[in-house]
Amino acid sequence: MLGYDKHAFEPFAVTVDLAVLTLRAGALHVLLVERGQEPYAGRWALPGGFLLPEESAERAARRELAEETGLADVTGLHLEQLRTYSEPGRDPRMRVVSVAFTALLPDPPEPHAGTDAAEARWVPYDKAQGLAFDHDRILADARERVGAKLEYSCLATAFCPAEFTLGELQQVYETVWGTALDRPNFRRKVLATPGFVEAVPGAARLTGGRGKPAALYRAGPATALHPPLLRTPREGRPA
């Protein structure tokens, strides 16, 4: 930040990359685009693009999110900076510094190919491997972060539509964590956390199939979970 006149400095290309996650048919999916040209032609990649001259990374990310998903309104969607990837050589053509973001979507709309994307498609997380550039790592970091944030934040509702059942909310946790949760205990925990969810007053109910209809809830005003909803304890993982 100091001494611009004492150091020569290299200009860098700056991009944003988006790990757009959603839940589809009970499985975690990620939005990918197929590359039309070298390098990595024909390979899948995270959507993204260059920062415009008068745009912050956050604005660029939301612009790209709208372009790639084809959604008219992306203002309500959860979009969060993940981290920045700057290894020299991560792009074979030139020095590119990429600010990665994670976006969470409730309902999976059909993706709309952006102006510079050959094709955009929802791909199950487990099949999203061998991506271009260092996008495998970015995607893994995004999933890791989301899984961790489910523990101590109310982020899970970002995967749900405006009104949802507690069973749907529980499925978010189970899908992202890959573990089964006890339904009564989950319910007790969620309802005991003030501001996490609030019941839809009209005693509305939803028929998903056979069983007893479930009450509907909306996301509440809270953003943090105190105390947290912990995953199965495991041994020391990188902090």
Q: Which of the choices DNA, its own copies, none does residue 208 contact, using the CB cut-off of 5 to 8 A by kind?
A: DNA
Q: Catalytic: 38? A: no
Which CB sits closer to its own copies, 122 or 133? Answer: 133
Which CB sits closer to its own copies, 47 or 111? Answer: 47
Is 166 a binding residue for DNA by CB under 7 A? The answer is: yes
193: nearest Cα among 234, 150, 147: 150
Q: Which of the choices its own copies, DNA, none does residue 113 contact, using the CB cut-off of 5 to 8 A by kind?
A: none
Report cis status (omega within 30 of 0) of the bond before 221: no
Which CB sits closer to DNA, 106 or 111? Answer: 106
Which two tokens mark 135?
């996008």
Over the window 192 to 211, marking each residue x when it contacts DNA by CB under 7 A and - when it does not, the resulting string is x------------x-xxxxx
Among residues 119, 144, 168, 198, the one annotated as catalytic is: 119
Which two tokens mark 154?
């109310």
Contact 117, 107 (CB under 8 A): no
Measured distance CA(167)–CA(144) in Å, rounded = 23
Element (H, E) at 65: helix 57-69
Site of interaction with DNA (CB under 7 A): 165-167, 182-185, 187-189, 192, 205, 207-215, 227, 229-230
